[in-house]
Amino acid sequence: MENQFFVDSGHLSPEALEKKHRLETDPACRKNHMEYLPGMEIIESDVCRQVMEQRNSFDYSVYTARDVRAALDHDTCSVEDFKALLSPAAEPFLEEMAQRARMETSKHFGNTVYLFTPLYIANYCENYCVYCGFNCYNHINRMKLNMEQIEHEMKVIADSGMEEILILTGESRGQSNVEYIGEACKLARKYFRMVGLEIYPVNTDEYRYLHECGADYVTVFQETYDTDKYETLHLLGHKRVWPYRFDAQERALRGGMRGVAFSALLGLSDFRKDALASALHVYYLQRKYPHAEMSLSCPRLRPIVNNDKISPLDVGEKQLCQVLCAYRIFLPFVGITVSSRESAEFRNGIVKIAATKVSAGVSTGIGDHESKYTGKEDDAAKGDEQFEIDDNRSFDAMYRDMSGEGLQPVLNDYIYV
């Protein structure tokens, strides 16, 4: 593995430091981010072309208040209407957009809000993504849970009442291979009714294997649909290959996954264009795979270790609310997740308007659910967190708060026979 010696904690070797410097300063030392690496499956699909044609031609400065007014008056939101709702011209209409979004959410989801929790089982990574706390050059405590530790973490979470879990790893095939993740899925099936995965993208046959092991759905963050910006942020590793990442959800659906989730990390590039591309990624795939469940997340960039190499673009709560309302109006049937990156106050408000799913009892570290869920300290090693969260509420607190807001918390809506 080309950079396996980078992933350990502690100081980098002189060879590693030299390579890191070359990657940062000399683009010629980096692999072409649009070319597939050996072993990566190439699928025939026109979705990427459709999304990128719309994204690259999107000039949000041309939309006017009249365009926004027309979009809100239409019963069905077209792609052109959606563009207007994402534009700066829509900002004075935010209250009206929220009312329309609330109506669509109520029509299709009632007053329900789904609860889940993530479980990070490893934080080793072979990518150099300059904004990520797990990246292979960061000096953090690395850890990979064994199956006994994974089952212990799962039991602690399940004992809290949670019925849906999202399993995450750092992007390292060397440390967290597909078989390892599959065994984790089999354990999860013992404790949870819904099992999601947020791992490195894999091929169709590997998604099929993971589905057979118990995984229901797959989440992949494209991070940004700006291919030029993507190249400057992902300097090393399989994640650098932009088109392979783009097609991950389609491969997962071809592999039998019931659902897929999409997201850009708002703040890495132009958030309006990334929001458009994320939603259109869902829109076009939904037409090819109408049986599949699809959902959107809308995370903003959060502080992480050593994150002094990029200049994040500011995305305020008002802009985030605009994007979420536009998503709901354009894609009324799609699930929308708002993560613990956001404040409790914001999440309490947005679930009444557009969001349908929130995480609770969240830890982005490795092996620390015992202490966080029960208050019982142990001497076991822990792995460092990927990023800082804002909303630290426990599952019980989130359940009470959602009920207190007049919502119906849902832990699972599937019956397996």
Angle subtended at Cα 23 by Cα 20 and Cα 28, rounded to the nearest 5 degrees = 155
CA within 13 Å, CB half, 35: 6
Residue 329: name the closest of 27, 121, 101 by CA.
Answer: 101
**What is the end-to-end Cα distance of the chain in Å, rounded?**
43
Quote the CA–CA distance of 208 and 216 in Å, as a whole number.
11
| Among 291, 204, 216, 194, CA closest to 252 | 204
CA-atom Rg of the chain in angstroms: 21
Core vs surface per residue 91-126: b (16+ CB within 10 A) or e: eebeeebbebbeebbeeebeebbbbbbbbbbbbbbb
Q: What is the pLDDT of residue 8?
A: 46
Give the DSSP per-residue string, 311-364.
-PPP--HHHHHHHHHHHHHH-TTSEEEE-TTS-HHHHHHHTTTT--EEE-S---
Place of tokens 């009312």: 99
Q: What is the pLDDT of residue 1?
A: 38
Tell me phi and psi for residue 226, to 5 degrees.
-80, 100
User: b/e per residue, 152-184, with b = 16+ CB within 10 A?
Assistant: bbbebbbebebbbbbbbbbbbbebbebebbbeb
Encoded amino acid at 398, one letter = M
CA distances from 389 to 313, 359, 365 (A): 19, 11, 11
Q: List Cα–Cα distances, 344 to 104, 178, 328, 351, 380, in angstroms.
A: 23, 35, 21, 11, 30
Average pLDDT over residues 12-17: 78
**Domain boundaries in the chain?**
4-410
CA 240 and chain centroid, separation:
17
φ, ψ dihedrals at 81, nearest 5°: -60, -45
By C-alpha distance, which of 140, 171, 128 is closest to 309? 128
The answer to which of 3-7, 251-255, 330-334, 349-353 has the lowest mean pLDDT is 3-7
Asked whether the predicted pLDDT for residue 2 surpasses 50, the reply is no
In this model, does residue 351 exceed pLDDT 90?
Answer: yes
**Residue 391 confidence (pLDDT):** 87
- Tens digit of each residue's pLDDT (9 = 90 or more) over 157-191: 999 999 999 999 999 999 999 999 999 999 999 99
19-28, 119-128, 264-273, 348-357, range with the lowest pLDDT: 19-28
pTM for the predicted model, two decimal places? 0.91
CA distances 342 to 273, 337, 347, 349, Å, are 21, 11, 7, 11
CATH code given to domain 4-410: 3.20.20.70
Reported as a single tens digit per residue, the pLDDT across 42-81 is 999 999 999 999 999 999 999 999 999 999 999 999 999 9
How many other C-beta atoms lie within 10 A of the C-beta of residue 206?
Answer: 20
Q: pLDDT tens digit string along 267-276? A: 899 999 999 9
| pLDDT for 212 beyond 90 | yes
Residues 231 and 242: their CA atoms lie apart, in Å, by 8
pLDDT at residue 227, rounded to an integer: 98
Residue 283: Cβ-neighbour burial (10 angstroms; 0-12, 13-18, 19+): buried
pLDDT digits (tens, 9 = 90+) for 231-243: 999 999 999 999 9
Mean pLDDT of the chain: 90
Would you say residue 311 has pLDDT above 60? no
Are 206 and 226 in contact, with CB atoms under 8 Å apart? Answer: no
Which phi and psi angles does 167 have, rounded to 5°? -90, 130
d(CA 169, CA 404): 34
DSSP 8-state class, residue 224: -
